[in-house]
Amino acid sequence: MKLCSLKDIEVATLIEREGPQRKTRELFPSADRERAVEHFREMEPFLYLPASDRIYNTYQSFLLRIPGKTILIDTCVGEDKARPPQFMTYPKKPWLDAFAAEGLSFEDIDLVICTHLHVDHVGWNTRLVDGHWQPTFPKAKYIFGRIECEYWEAQVNKGNDLAGRIWTDSCLPILRSGQAELVEMDADLGDGLRLRPAPGHTPGMFCVSVTRDDEDKVMFVADVLHHPLQCREPDWSTGFCTDPVLAAKTRRELFEEIADTDTLVVPEHVPFPTVGRIESDGDRFRYSFPFPWWRPAGARD
């Protein structure tokens, strides 16, 4: 499903799971509930469900098409993986259907970029074939952050169970097949693609920007922004951040850098139509959806 286009860049989403999910303080432990509710009142209705205090979050991959390359950014939870119950309950067919609806086969993906190695960003890296984990995209080069890999390897060595499962079934097979390229957090990937360091949510997370003519820009901001609420309250990091203070600093710096510009922001977990622009508002910010007309009336609420 199309999200946006800019010159010769096209961005589509492959949605694995969407809908209301966690309560405000489950996702943002430092949130002031009443202040949050005031912010939610000013936001689009597909972002928050007041009756049960549930925040809408989407799990999606982004399909980035530029001339000569088909690129996948982040790969959701995937299938057949031994994961905690909240991730096991998602049906996996919607993601596969969305992929097929783009007219693609797994061989068509040239590049897979994992912004970080959390459970919901690496799942479709591999599939279980005849009892073995195989790279899902046989011809793709996979981009992993070097610092991110080192951090998670250290976690595995410390006995972190979930990290061990993710590393073993979704990262190691890629490293062993020779398809992984470990890069620095500010790597230039060519074709106008550049990484931007975004530490805090995890130590090695990065954003991916695509620039045309030095100024027009689409920026995939990974989990810097889980929800537009964090534009109003940039200091509210999620309970899943390894360093919530650094995550907030990264968020504020990024917002200050791109606020009131034409940069199209593509955050991982913001519900469809996902793409937005950051607007400044004193020392806070606002998230605006520039393409609301692509959202069918009444859909997905």
Element (H, E) at 174: helix 172-177
Is 166:152 a contact under the CB 8 Å cutoff?
yes
- Residue 16 interacts with Zn ion (CB under 5 A)? no
The single residue listed with the structure tokens 């010769």 is: 8
For the bound state, the minimum distance from the C-beta of residue 61 to Zn ion, rounded and expressed in Å, comes to 11
Starting at the edge strand that comes first in sequence, how are the strands of the sheet with 111-113 ordered?
2-6, 9-17, 59-66, 69-73, 111-113, 141-145, 180-183
For the bound state, the minimum distance from the C-beta of residue 239 to Zn ion, rounded and expressed in Å, comes to 12
Is 145:108 a contact under the CB 8 Å cutoff?
no
Give the range of 9-17, 21-29, 220-228, 230-238 binding Zn ion by CB under 5 A: 220-228
DSSP string over 175-225: HHHT-EEEE-TT-EEETTEEEEE--SSSTT-EEEEEEETTTEEEEEEETS-
Amino acid found at 293: W
Count of beta carbons in the 10 Å neighbourhood of residue 207: 23
For the bound state, the minimum distance from the C-beta of residue 201 to Zn ion, rounded and expressed in Å, comes to 8
Task: Please compute Rg for the chain using Cα positions.
Answer: 18
| Smaller CB separation from Zn ion, 226 or 232 | 226
Q: How far is CA 297 from the centre of its chain?
A: 25
Give the range of 12-20, 48-56, 103-111, 217-225 binding Zn ion by CB under 5 A: 217-225
| Smaller CB separation from Zn ion, 192 or 201 | 201
- Tell me the site size for Zn ion, rule CB under 5 A: 2
Residues in Cβ contact with 297 at an 8 Å cutoff, skipping those fewer than 6 apart = none
For the bound state, the minimum distance from the C-beta of residue 49 to Zn ion, rounded and expressed in Å, comes to 20
For the bound state, the minimum distance from the C-beta of residue 178 to Zn ion, rounded and expressed in Å, comes to 27
| Smaller CB separation from Zn ion, 120 or 169 | 120
| Smaller CB separation from Zn ion, 66 or 114 | 114
Window 117-156: contact mask with Zn ion (x via CB under 5 A): ---x------------------------------------
For the bound state, the minimum distance from the C-beta of residue 247 to Zn ion, rounded and expressed in Å, comes to 12
Single out the residue of 170, 223, 263, 264 in contact with Zn ion (rule: CB under 5 A).
223
| Smaller CB separation from Zn ion, 169 or 223 | 223
DSSP string over 250-264: HHHHHHHHHTTSSPE
For the bound state, the minimum distance from the C-beta of residue 269 to Zn ion, rounded and expressed in Å, comes to 6
| Smaller CB separation from Zn ion, 120 or 233 | 120
Site for Zn ion in 149-208 (CB under 5 A): none
The residue ranges that bind Zn ion (CB under 5 A) are 120, 223
